[in-house]
Amino acid sequence: MPKDIQGTTVVVTGGASGIGLAIADAFLQHGAHRVVLLDLNAEQADQATATLNAKHGNKATFILCDVTQDLDQVTKVIIDTYKTVDVLVNSAGIVNERNPRKVIEINLTAVIEWSLKYLEIMRKGGKGGTIINMSSMYGFMVDPYLPTYKASKFGVLGFTKSKGHEYNFKKTGVRLLAICPGVTKTNLTSGYKNFEEKENQEDFVATFDSFPWAEVTRVGQAVVEVFGKADSGTAWAIQGDEPVFEA
């Protein structure tokens, strides 16, 4: 299965900002033919699309999308318009320990549903493809904090490694990869001091502050690096400016 970005069509959920936008930008930098940004924030997405198009030419488009509800209708628009998808990046995610159901729906259930849908599309096309699922350092490490968020990201890692297993890859030709960023400077993490319950906040903030922080551009470029070399069913960690390593 080709690992060449040149000429690819890339779909990115949560693509209007943060890590999703950085990944879209990195794919365009390395030769993607087009990126399709899916997001609920139309204002941010319009701005992101304009920025990418100014930088790379008219190669970015935006479709309003709730990943928990709009899978079938948005996918129909994408396939009707572009005929094929070479890369799906499941990047939409939230942190909200006060609403565990929503966290699981967005961070895990949607990732599974979008992966399964696009796996079938990619395998039927005969070319295969790549599905990149965003997990987290909290997909494989344990501390006392953010248990629901961790559950969602552990789930992403388990699903991706299992569905992307060599046994399945040989049947489908579709590669599934998990990316596990450490703490990254985004709008999401800007509110990290309120992530935990009040009784845990002080200790959590001290722990979070001790981690190496990465810029979103670093994560975007690391994803492109992983895309070029990784086998299906593998997971890759990105922590600060350290080299990418298999998790």
**Entry field: residues in the chain:** 247
Mean pLDDT of the region 54-81: 98
Does 67 score more than 60 pLDDT?
yes
Q: What does pLDDT average to over the chain?
A: 95
| Per-residue pLDDT at 238 | 95
The single residue of 82, 118, 149, 167 carrying the catalytic annotation is 149
pLDDT digits (tens, 9 = 90+) for 178-235: 999 999 999 888 888 989 888 999 999 999 899 999 999 999 999 999 999 999 999 9
* pLDDT bucket at 119, cuts 50 / 70 / 90: very high
CA–CA separation, 38 vs 49, rounded Å? 11
Nearest to 62 by CA among 82, 47, 80: 47
pLDDT digits (tens, 9 = 90+) for 4-26: 999 999 999 999 999 999 999 99
Which residue segments constitute the domains of the chain, with CATH numbers given? 9-246 (3.40.50.720)
CB 14 within 8 A of CB 91: yes
| Per-residue pLDDT at 197 | 85
| Per-residue pLDDT at 125 | 64
Mean pLDDT of the region 77-102: 97
| Per-residue pLDDT at 191 | 87
In sequence order, what are the residues at sequence separation of 6 or more whose Cβ sits closer than 8 angstroms to the Cβ of residue 107?
93, 94, 149, 152, 153, 155, 156
Does 1 score more than 60 pLDDT?
no
In the annotation, is 138 catalytic?
no
Helix (H) or strand (E) holding 178: strand 174-181
Chain-centre distance for alpha carbon 179: 7
Does 2 score more than 80 pLDDT?
no
| Per-residue pLDDT at 138 | 94
